[in-house]
Chains A and B, each alone.
Chain A
């Protein structure tokens, strides 16, 4: 088997070398994708929209990642582009709240972000995995500096309020102990011949050796205190130099306590494909991407425009809009084609003449509840006191996550962390509270993990996505049932209208879903426009 793979990879390499030298890097990337070497995302490299008919026009609804991507590419391809955006800023859910920002949620409650200059929170997306090639492409193109995002920090915590007396455990300890105990059990079963039906005699020895290696087991295949085990789970006293440098080994947690704690459920947090290293965050906040697109597109975007009607005929689409505060007389915009990226809960309420199938699809996708809170503290105590530099703590408390800043390490002065990132029912409950109470509760719960909270807390902001006036929820929640019944109807071009956004993707809630759905849709619009030629 190994030989077989070796010969395949050799011929692949030769082929790729040939393509790379004759056709350049872009073709090489395409070829790599088609060979499955870089095929993680449907993104296939820069889109080719050559041959746009003269004077063909596209009206784009929404200036989030989907709309901005489409506007950028279609404009570059020669289409006449207009974008209508409800907010007064570009980006949509690509958004950063900074000191000095004001945010008014549905119902009129306004929060003033009182963070210090340069401190921020990303209320929406906060990470970009390396294989979200579309996002990687556009951040590079726009000159957005990327920083590492630490999905997994071995020194952050896994916490259960019902285990270990409520004391948070280091990720490193839980992982090492779980792995060690499981390896020991499996080694025992193997040596007692319990696995003989599944493992050949030759494989048995290899399996045992691999379990010893994987679980840091001793020569008797047991997981017990040792230099080796402490090298995984950490020492009680770390190794150092000189007379004071002698280490003290640590003791593993018993298997029963570990299983009973439920903390094992946090071990695989970085094993999910979209969470696998490397991940990135834009320096200075996720919102820098939307802002850069906004600068690039300039006056093509009309802000503060609330769409009230979408009507197509055989030759094009007319969209009626008013001011965001329902101010001003209705105005209209018209184009040959319309790419609509309005989130589905909002679109479902806007009159639009499409088929019953598409209308049903638009109404079939519920919006996921989500909640985030950013907290400013007087000092970076998580670094100073607990040596947690970036990454995430997971807890069974209602706050669910604490995200530490992945930037500005060791800087003196204040710091902002993500005090809560909550989904599901608990997000609904946080949404139902006034913002100040939300922040207070986040601080109260967080203090069970970091007792410094009450002493060091200064101010906070809380964003409940169902109260976001421009989104009415966090992202489209498809089920297997609704996906089978409605997804293709949602993604069709109907007459002159196509939809795009994360809701029109298999990457729900990810910006890459918005970008790839947008490129997919405008590629198809372009085909139709070219086929119609000047008549378009």
Chain B
């Protein structure tokens, strides 16, 4: 019954992000692919199309970023965060409502492959979950919100 309700609510919510569920949950987050992760999470800051944004500080434009030549740079940034960007490589036992979001190594590989092959980036090499797993991950535990 619960499963059915969950499926119904996901179906009702699907719209602007194409066929992906609008609100991730413990149950649905692990099923998102690289493109969906970009649409649900990354574009909040890096903007649709990877345009980036400028205010008192800036969010880097993902197109033609020379750092993208290194998949390790991109994967490590997603895993550990950078300059205020939250880490996504924490262990999976985090509270989805308040703690940082957790992506699996396979998802991180997928989102790395997505951003390195879109927005004008044309890196062909496919990163694997095993390659991501070999990079340093952040330790568990962080402080919740107020």
A residues whose Cβ falls under 8 Å from a Cβ of B = 86, 106-107, 161-162, 274, 306-307, 324, 326, 342-350, 363, 365-370, 398, 400, 423-426, 428-429, 431-433, 437, 441, 464, 466-475, 477-481, 508-510
How distant is the Cα of A463 from the Cα of B18 in the complex, in angstroms?
24
User: Which residue in chain A gives the minimum CB-CB distance to B23?
Assistant: A398
1/0 per position for B47-76, CB-CB distance to A under 8 A?
Answer: 100010111111100000000000000000
Residue B101 CB within 8 A of the other chain: yes
Asked if B44 and A349 sit within 8 Å, CB to CB, the answer is no
How many of B's residues come within 8 Å of A, CB to CB?
46
Cβ-defined contact, B146 with A429, below 8 A: no
Cβ contact of B56, chosen from A346, A466, A510, cutoff 8 A: A346
Q: Which of B81-89, B111-119, B124-132 contacts A (4 or more CB under 8 A)?
A: B81-89
Task: Find the B residue at minimum CB distance from A464.
Answer: B44
- A56 to B84 alpha-carbon distance, docked (Å): 34
Report A-chain residues with C-beta under 8 Å of the C-beta of B96.
Answer: 424-426
Q: Is B40 an interface residue (CB 8 A)?
A: yes
Flag if B97 contacts A470 (CB, 8 Å): no
Residues of chain A within 8 A of B5, CB atoms compared: 161-162
User: By the criterion CB–CB under 8 Å, are B45 and A470 in contact?
Assistant: no
How many pairs of residues, A versus B, come closer than 8 Å at their CB atoms?
Answer: 147
Q: Report the minimum CB–CB distance from B71 to chain A (whole Å).
A: 21
Residue in A closest to B9 when the chains form the complex, CB atoms: A161
Nearest A-chain residue to B139, judged by Cβ: A481
User: A343–B56 Cα gap in the complex (Å)?
Assistant: 10
Q: Is the CB of B57 within 8 A of A346?
A: yes
Residues of B within 8 A of A162 (CB): 2, 5
Measured CA separation A161–B39 after assembly (Å): 26
Interface residues of B in 128-146 (CB under 8 A from A): 138-139, 141-146
Main secondary structure of the interface of B (DSSP, over half): loop
Q: Which residues of B are found within 8 Å of A368, using beta-carbon distances? A: 86, 145
Alpha-carbon distance A481/B141, docked complex (angstroms):
8
- A-B contacts, 6 listed (Cβ < 8 Å): A324-B56, A366-B81, A367-B86, A426-B97, A477-B142, A479-B139
A342–B86 alpha-carbon span in the complex (Å)? 18
A343 to B84, CA, bound (A): 9
Contact among A363, A370, A428 for B145, CB-based, below 8 A: A370
Name the distance in Å between B5's Cβ and chain A's nearest Cβ: 7
Chain B nearest CB: distance from A402 CB in Å? 15
Minimum distance in angstroms from A270 CB to a CB of chain B: 14
| Contacting pair B56 A425 (CB below 8 A) | no
How far apart are the CA atoms of A162 and B3 in the complex, in Å? Answer: 10
B16 touches A433 (CB 8 A): yes
Q: Are A472 and B59 in contact (CB under 8 A)?
A: yes
Tell me which residues across on chain B come within 8 A of A348, comparing CB atoms.
57, 83-84
The answer to whether B97 and A423 touch across the interface, beta carbons within 8 angstroms, is yes
Interchain CB contact under 8 A, B84 and A432: no
B98 in contact (CB, < 8 A): yes
A475 and B146 in contact (CB under 8 A), knowing A366-B84, A431-B45?
yes
Q: Cβ of B144: which chain A residues have Cβ within 8 Å of it?
A: 423
Residues 15-46 of B, flagged 1 when their CB comes within 8 A of A and 0 if not, give: 01000001110000100000000011111110
Name the A residues within 8 Å of B85 (CB-CB).
345, 366-367
Name the distance in Å between A197's Cβ and chain B's nearest Cβ.
Answer: 33
In the assembled complex, the Cα of A423 lies from the Cα of B145 at a distance in Å of 7
* Whole-angstrom CA separation of A475 from B97 in the bound complex: 16
Known contacts being A423-B145, A508-B143, is A472 close to B23, with CB within 8 Å? Answer: no
Q: Are A509 and B87 in contact (CB under 8 A)?
A: no
Given known pairs A432-B43, A437-B16, the reply for A510 and B146 (CB within 8 Å) is: yes
Q: Are A472 and B56 in contact (CB under 8 A)?
A: yes
Q: Which 6 pairs across A and B sit closest by C-beta, in order of nearness?
A: A345-B84, A469-B55, A431-B44, A346-B57, A106-B53, A348-B83
